Structures are given as structure tokens and as C-alpha cells.
């Protein structure tokens, strides 16, 4: 084992990059960068039934989008390749042959039906199902008979008797397993493909992986991998198992949780910023010193301390992510905000794909109006709805504002002043609101709220003169007159 820190993220190309997998990649990346080590991407693609076309490319593209880069991998090569498991089958075979030769592994000819029957009998007897070892000492005659029947063998590892496997987990401290808890387990399936735990152990050794940071669901895999390391007298890496990510109801984050978006691609498509997601995901199970929550990637690299990995489950809070993304949007230049939002307005058919100068200026002013309250790019469609509908449906809260006794006078006076004005700029509109205040003797909420509700249909919103300007003079006058008619009936 080298003294150099070498960590890996090992995705299966089974689909899109999930929040949990992104966190695993991110923690490994930060750990390597913090200690000046290497971050490796290894594609674990031996489960061909679950592999999805383009799955590997998708995972890698969204890791790059998040701001994660790697030192070795299938796409860029390295000194310890190949970096796809299906391209390493010859390497695994060498170690399979050695285990068979040393009688540390053996061929098992049991059928899936026989194995299931064995498990059913164990359950019926109140036992925890595990392989009985029925084929662990077959005679040559029995082997010949099974092969004459056309049975394809799997290869099982002989689990040592009375061995305790201990490791000091980076996150959880001392963990131990007794070998008696395990039956002899399959290292090569009937189709000749090595199983996960066998291939992973071989790969981690040959790639000189020093530390393995992964989710807690892998804790039960660790002793099997340690068995392989022991069998070849190799030093195992240091293991660290991160806690679960839970939803707001403290249930395990499931891909069936439809109210929480689970995949990085979804956040990118909605107009979230990669820097905000990087920040948010890093704080799912790791905490910095102090109360600050917003950091750059470089700051995270400098301060990432594995001792601060949480021993309690992380809570995925969508509202916290929205808040965090809003903080990042406030600090990017306006051109970036436009790139984040304009495609969504076009996709919603609020704006044409090809705009003239007047339309473009109007669109930019509209986006600018909501820059500071925008949580993510696609939200611009919902926020700006009032500028694209012909009629206003007043909420009960809005109607309460319009029922106040001063409202007909305020709206009528303001409408008259707007109609008589030669200008229709935000500054001119502001001046007419002030003139309405002077004439009606109304001020504050008594003045602004009726105008806002009548023109926008909302009780809260961005700068009122700017909103009125964007709506256009004809629309605003029509809404003011209509509101006066409705409340006078």
C-alpha cells in the first residue's frame, strides 16, 4: 500500500447521477484534494442487465457539471487501468485461479431452485438464511455427474472458521463481524462474471486505493472484501461509511419520493447553479467549524476534515437548497441570470425563440425585476405569470384590500393621471403615484396596496413602478378601470 492518498468513486452505469451518489463522489473528491492525493473514477459495469446505454457518459457529464474533476478514469486513462470492470475480466481470472488452486474457493453446482429450497427450509427452522456449504467438498465423481447434466458452476469463497473481522471506520469507529455470520459466498457467477465484492477488493488493491468512503449500506459488504484481502495477504484500505440521507419526514431518501427531486440532471434542467448544489450536497453529512454555510469549492477543499463527517443521518431539505441557490443567484452577473431563466420563458411559450430588440429589452427588464427573489431558473415562469395573463382572478386576501373605502378614489385618480401622462417610464409612474398620494391624501399601504392588487393581482411583489411599466400602459389602465367597476357593483 502506498502512502499516497488514493480514493475512488465507482459508479454503475445504471442511469442518472443520484444525489446520494453525487455526495459519495464529492466527499471522495474533497478528501483527495484536501490531502493532495488522487481521485479515481472506476466504472463497475459487470451487472450488464442493469446497465443503461449512455449511463456512464451521463454520470461523468454531471460530475463535471458539479465541478468535480478526476485524475484517472476510463475517459482519461491512468497508470492503473483499465478503469471499467468488464475490461478487467482477465485480471480477475488470475486471482480466481489462485484461490481455486489453494482450495480457498470451490465450484458450486447448486441450481437456483435448490438454493431457494435450502433458504426456505432455513427460514422454516427459524434460521437466518445462508449457504449451507452443500457443495463445498464434492468428489470428482459428483463433479463429473453435475457437468454431465450440463450444470454451470458458480465459484464460492471458503469463509474461514472462527475469524473476527475488525476495522476502524473513519465515521463510526470500531466495527466487527464474525465469520460465522456468513456462508460461503459467490465470487464468480455462473456466467463467468465476478461478483461485486470480489471484483471491488481486487480492484482496490491493484489500483492502490488507500481509503474507501461510501454509503453506510456498504458496511455489510466490508467483511467480505476483507476476506479477499486476507486471502492474498494484502493490506486493506481504510474504510469510512457515511450516514443515510433522509427526507423531511426522517425516512430514507428513496427514488420513489416524488416530492424531492433525486437526480442532478433534474436540478440542472430547472436552472439550479452547480456551485450551489456542490455547497448543499457537501453539507449533507459533513459540517464545517462555525455557523457559516456558504463556501466556495476551494474553501471546502482547504477545510475538509473527515473527522467532521456526521454520525447522524443527513436531512435533505428542499427549502434550504432553494435558499442556498437564491444566495448564489444574487451574486452572479446578470448575463448569467438571463442564461438561467430565458430558456424557461421561451419553453413555456411566454416569449418567442426569436425576438426583436424591443421584445428582448422587455424580457431583460422582466428578468431583472425578479433576480433577487429567484430560487432557480425555471421559477421565472411562475413568478412572472401576471405579465402574461389577460384577466386577474383576485384571491380573498386581494379582495379584502380592494374592499377598503378609499380604494375607488385611489384607483380612479391614479388611472386618470397615468392616462394624461405623456411618459410611461418607472420614474414617471413613481411620480404619478406620488401625485395620487397628494390628491387623495392617502399614503403607505392605503395607497400602494390597492394599486398593486388592481394592476398585478398580488399583495406582494417586486418594485411597483417597474411592474406597472412592464405590464404596459393599456393593460394597466384596463385593469385599474375594471377593478373600480368590480368594487363599485
Q: Give the sign of the dihedral formed by CA 375, CA 377, CA 379, CA 384.
A: positive
Phi, psi of 154 (to 5 degrees): -95, 170
Catalytic residue among 64, 252, 255, 441: 255
As a whole number of angstroms, the distance between CA 175 and CA 236 comes to 15
Number of C-beta neighbours around residue 410 at 10 A: 25
CB 175 within 8 A of CB 166: yes
- Give 160's contacts (C-beta < 8 A, 6+ positions apart): 179, 227, 230
Q: Look up cell 433522509; give the residue.
A: 246
As a whole number of angstroms, the distance between CA 52 and CA 151 comes to 30
Measured distance between the N- and C-terminal CA atoms of the chain, rounded to whole angstroms = 86
Query: For the stretch 201-220, what's the b/e string if a residue is b when 16 or more beta carbons lie within 10 angstroms of its beta carbon?
Result: bbbbbebebbbbbbbbebbe
Q: What is the DSSP string of 341-384?
A: HHHHHHHTTSS-SS--HHHHHHHHHHHHHHGGG-SSTTHHHHHT
CA–CA distance from 269 to each of 11, 62, 69, 336, 337 (Å)?
Answer: 22, 11, 21, 15, 14
Q: What is the DSSP letter of 164?
A: E
Q: Look up cell 418607472; give the residue.
A: 426
Q: Is 255 part of the annotated catalytic residue set?
A: yes
Which sequence positions are flagged as catalytic? 255
Amino acid at each position: 500500500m502506498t502512502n499516497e492518498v488514493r480514493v475512488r468513486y465507482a459508479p454503475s452505469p445504471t442511469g442518472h447521477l443520484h444525489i446520494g451518489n453525487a455526495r459519495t463522489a464529492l466527499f471522495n473528491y474533497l478528501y483527495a484534494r484536501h490531502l493532495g492525493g488522487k481521485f479515481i473514477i472506476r466504472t463497475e459495469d459487470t451487472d450488464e442487465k442493469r446497465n443503461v446505454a449512455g449511463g456512464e457518459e451521463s454520470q461523468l457529464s454531471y460530475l463535471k457539471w458539479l465541478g468535480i474533476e478526476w485524475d484517472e478514469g476510463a475517459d482519461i486513462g491512468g497508470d492503473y487501468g483499465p478503469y471499467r470492470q468488464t475490461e478487467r475480466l482477465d485480471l480477475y481470472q488470475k486471482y480466481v485461479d489462485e484461490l481455486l488452486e489453494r482450495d480457498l474457493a470451490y465450484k458450486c453446482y447448486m441450481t437456483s431452485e435448490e438454493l431457494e429450497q435450502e433458504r426456505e427450509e432455513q427460514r422454516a427452522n427459524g434460521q437466518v438464511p445462508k449457504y449451507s456449504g452443500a457443495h463445498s467438498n464434492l468428489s470428482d465423481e459428483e463433479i463429473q455427474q453435475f457437468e454431465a447434466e450440463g450444470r454451470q458452476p458458480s465459484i464460492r469463497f471458503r469463509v474461514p472458521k472462527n475469524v473476527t473481522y475488525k476495522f476502524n471506520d473513519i465515521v463510526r469507529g470500531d466495527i466487527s463481524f464474525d465469520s460465522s455470520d456468513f456462508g460461503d459466498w459467490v465470487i464468480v457467477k455462473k456466467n463467468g462474471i465476478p461478483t461485486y465484492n470480489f471484483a471491488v477488493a481486487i480492484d482496490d488493491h491493484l489500483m492502490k486505493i488507500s481509503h474507501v468512503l461510501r454509503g453506510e449500506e456498504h458496511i455489510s459488504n466490508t467483511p467480505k472484501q476483507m476476506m479477499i484481502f486476507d486471502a492474498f495477504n494484502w493490506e486493506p484500505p481504510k474504510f469510512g461509511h457515511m450516514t443515510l440521507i433522509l427526507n423531511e419526514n426522517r425516512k430514507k431518501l428513496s427514488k420513489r419520493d416524488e416530492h424531492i427531486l433525486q437526480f442532478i440532471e433534474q436540478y440542472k434542467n430547472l436552472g439550479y447553479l452547480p456551485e450551489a448544489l456542490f455547497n448543499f450536497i457537501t453539507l449533507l453529512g459533513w459540517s464545517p467549524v462555525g455557523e457559516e454555510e456558504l463556501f466556495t469549492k476551494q474553501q471546502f477543499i482547504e477545510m475538509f476534515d473527515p473527522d467532521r463527517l456526521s454520525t447522524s443521518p443527513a436531512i435533505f431539505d428542499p427549502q434550504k437548497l432553494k435558499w442556498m441557490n437564491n444566495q448564489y443567484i444574487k451574486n452572479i452577473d446578470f448575463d448569467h441570470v438571463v442564461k438561467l431563466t430565458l430558456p424557461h420563458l421561451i419553453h413555456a411559450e411566454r416569449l418567442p425563440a426569436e425576438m426583436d430588440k424591443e421584445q428582448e429589452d422587455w424580457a431583460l427588464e422582466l428578468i431583472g425585476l425578479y433576480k433577487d427573489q429567484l430560487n432557480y431558473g425555471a421559477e421565472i415562469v411562475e413568478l412572472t405569470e401576471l405579465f402574461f395573463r389577460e384577466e386577474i382572478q383576485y384571491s380573498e386576501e386581494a379582495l379584502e384590500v380592494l374592499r377598503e373605502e378609499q380604494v375607488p378614489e385611489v384607483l380612479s385618480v391614479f388611472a386618470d393621471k397615468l392616462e394624461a401622462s405623456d411618459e410611461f417610464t418607472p420614474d414617471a409612474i413613481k411620480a404619478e403615484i406620488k401625485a395620487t398620494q397628494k390628491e387623495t391624501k392617502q399614503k403607505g399601504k392605503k395607497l400602494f396596496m390597492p394599486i398593486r392588487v388592481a394592476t398585478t393581482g398580488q399583495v406582494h411583489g417586486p418594485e411597483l413602478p417597474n411592474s406597472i411599466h412592464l405590464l404596459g400602459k393599456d393593460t394597466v389602465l384596463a385593469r385599474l378601470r375594471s377593478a373600480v367597476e368590480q368594487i363599485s357593483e
